């Protein structure tokens, strides 16, 4: 039996969509929330939507202990608080996948604009806050939650993955690519999250204009499996 995928903030739109897709791909998921009750409700929705799904709902700190690669899918406003709460839960060797985007909406600004983060990006802020030995990888900023949550919707887009060690990014890439239609692309060092996080407000702006849920795809990449 494979290890569960912990999703901190898994009751939010992105986290819930990921949980559904991974459950559908046959992977157990551990959905975390500040409320154990809401976590369990979200897990029940996954079990209802995907017959045979192994989904459990837990407090964030408990969920984070369930697997080696932990996804953090909370709004930027709650990122620091969540990372503080996770300090005693995370163990050396774990990977924290930060999906946070510093939208100006976090401080009642526009979702088509972003905030400057002192460390350069939300992911770099996360790297500063996790316990020693935990490495941060940034990914999944550009995947539209409504598309993810609609199991009938076909995906066909890229996930840009940033991190300082290729082996860590490759582990995340394997999980991302469990979801049909997603291709994980090595976008560079963690500092490149400064750029990748900005794609979300760009897509939000495009979505408003074109009435769609746009994604990103890089053209010209080789066809072979570049994560080997």
Per CB under 8 A, the list member of 80, 85, 119, 147 interacting with its own copies is: 147
In the numeric block, which tokens belong to residue 136?
């941060």
Per CB under 8 A, the list member of 108, 118, 220, 225 interacting with its own copies is: 220
- State the helix-helix crossing angle for 122-129 and 79-86, rounded to 10 degrees: 20
Q: Is the dihedral of CA 17, 23, 27, 31 positive or negative?
A: positive
195 binds its own copies (CB under 8 A): yes
In the complex with its own copies, the residue whose CB is nearer, 37 or 211, is 211
DSSP state of 5: E
Give me the residue label for tokens 């080696």: 68
119 binds its own copies (CB under 8 A): no
Q: How many residues bind its own copies (CB under 8 A)?
A: 39
- Whole-angstrom distance, CA of residue 55 vs CA of residue 79: 24
What's the closest the beta carbon of residue 112 comes to its own copies, in angstroms?
Answer: 7
Per CB under 8 A, the list member of 1, 108, 211, 228 interacting with its own copies is: 211
169 binds its own copies (CB under 8 A): no
Q: Output b/e per residue, 151-176; b: 16+ Cβ within 10 A.
A: eeeebebbbbbbbeeeebbbbbbebb
Per CB under 8 A, the list member of 62, 111, 186, 227 interacting with its own copies is: 186
| Residue 39 · residue 33 · CB < 8 Å | yes
167 binds its own copies (CB under 8 A): no
Per CB under 8 A, the list member of 33, 82, 94, 112 interacting with its own copies is: 112
What's the closest the beta carbon of residue 172 comes to its own copies, in angstroms?
Answer: 16
210 binds its own copies (CB under 8 A): yes
144 binds its own copies (CB under 8 A): yes
Interacting span for its own copies (CB under 8 A) from 73-81, 101-109, 172-180, 205-213: 205-213
DSSP per-residue string spanning 144-195:
-HHHHH-TTSPP-EEEEEE-S-HHHHHHHHHHHTTSTTEEEEEEESGGGHHH
Contacting positions for its own copies (CB under 8 A): 112-114, 144, 147, 156-157, 160, 185-188, 191-192, 194-196, 198-199, 201-203, 205-206, 209-222, 226
């Amino acid at each position: 039996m494979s290890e569960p995928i912990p999703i901190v903030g898994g009751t939010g739109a992105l986290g819930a969509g990921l949980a559904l897709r991974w459950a559908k791909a046959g992977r157990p998921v551990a959905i975390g929330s500040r409320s154990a009750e809401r976590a369990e409700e979200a897990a029940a929705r996954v079990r209802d939507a995907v017959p045979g799904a192994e989904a459990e709902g837990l407090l964030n700190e408990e969920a984070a202990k369930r697997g080696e690669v932990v996804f953090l899918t909370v709004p930027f406003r709650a990122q620091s608080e969540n990372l503080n709460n996770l300090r005693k839960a995370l163990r050396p060797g774990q990977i924290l996948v930060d999906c946070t985007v510093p939208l100006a909406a976090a401080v009642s600004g526009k979702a088509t604009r972003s905030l400057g983060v002192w460390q350069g990006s939300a992911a770099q802020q996360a790297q500063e806050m996790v316990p020693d030995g935990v490495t941060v990888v940034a990914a999944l900023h550009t995947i539209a939650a409504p598309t993810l949550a609609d199991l009938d919707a076909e995906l066909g887009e890229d996930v840009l993955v940033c991190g300082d060690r290729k082996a860590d990014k490759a582990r995340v890439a394997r999980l991302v690519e469990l979801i049909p239609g997603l291709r994980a692309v090595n976008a560079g060092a963690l500092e490149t999250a400064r750029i990748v996080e900005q794609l979300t407000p760009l897509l939000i702006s495009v979505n408003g204009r074109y009435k769609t849920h746009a994604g990103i795809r890089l053209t010209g990449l080789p066809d072979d499996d570049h994560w080997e």
